[in-house]
Structure 1
């Protein structure tokens, strides 16, 4: 190819580049401003607007009205049950979820994929169906209840049944937050600790748990926030007895049926505030641990 032909080819290629570059960089969604505006609009209509409406109505009650609704003995009993059961269920789900995640990541066995899929079943299963199924299992004539009730352990229609239902819906959060961290952790650090003479407990305490702690706290916060507002899977197995097994979300519905809108708003606002604190904690946990690691690196 002569020099003149080469120059002609270069000019043609250069002229074609402007038309090729936009084609290669074309994105399936519109520009950043329009995409951000549409996303925030949908988020505002679906999520933020109802929450702001609830916060506005709760603020309109005033401190006296809000305290008057919360100081009701029945409300306090329901709140104590909801917060206590959510705390206990989140701790149990955290331990069980960490063990399930460990098994799924570190072992290969027949049925592993099926077990991995079953972890997400509470996400897909309607909560009312879960509640009916749990009640059928743990009631006095159920598969489990018929054997444990003669021993003096009643599960259905007690606080224990509520905790079991909340563990059922909180377990996937613990598994799915710990599982990716375990997959990224690998075996190298454990093998290094074993080569230095560390025992299994020391390896677990000094090597594995520090790496899993942010994920564990995140899974606990997610499970607690979900359990605090859970309704469908609990009302069937709880028994809904005032001052005994009546949860706060159910009491909100009862207050609405009684046309006590201020009482319902006060309870809902308290649960919303607790869930919002959990979300703040979830977002703050990675930053706190990253800052701590940077400080340790400098030291």
Structure 2
């Protein structure tokens, strides 16, 4: 099947599966390695970062990615063939323990899931979406909870909460614990405390009866513009982090923070809000879907990248 026909059929199938999916992006000439099979094409890429880079806190040092376009009566068949061809490229990662192979698929385009499982991939991370409500009313009040802008005096509290969150998320292979991460997080958090987009602070603290026990980090345009390529919407916001201390679970702090963030997004005319979460997380997955989110993209990972 001609490549243009494959891409057209792939695009049509995704549009039918989910109206919030954007049109697949074109691949740049010379980018990565092109793979092909009957009724399917793919682009294989690799990225590497240094162990001391800030990004190393959220990803493996070497990441191999496969972007696919599938057609035919059974699109899972070409996906299986493309994965088999990709295995030859991934064999070069045999001596890279800090690596991962990743395939990001539209969550509602479930064709080929069995093939991904057969090749040792697991659905690990979800990019979820919440279309804006824009109802014009604020979030419901939660007794004892106060949301306020984060201040420099909150730095130690924020770093402690972020480290707590990282230790929890590391169980689900979405982050990697690194030596010296407290210093890196401290520097990054100090920068965020002073960050403002469209007049809105990036970091907000939740106090329960005067004690800071949670925080939320929001991104508004233009800082959230990078997220626009993942959803069919003009103005896109990104909810980067929301965390509540263990001692304040089930007290309404998380719901209050989420409601405050959504009010900020709605006031800025955001059409869709995106966030990442670990699919296996028994806390975040039900929480976010109760807040109106749903899966948009699912990333399947294999750690390390090479089999065996």
Q: TM-score, normalised by structure 1?
A: 0.24
Higher strand share: 2
Higher helix share: 1
Q: TM-score, normalised by structure 2?
A: 0.23
Max Rg structure? 1
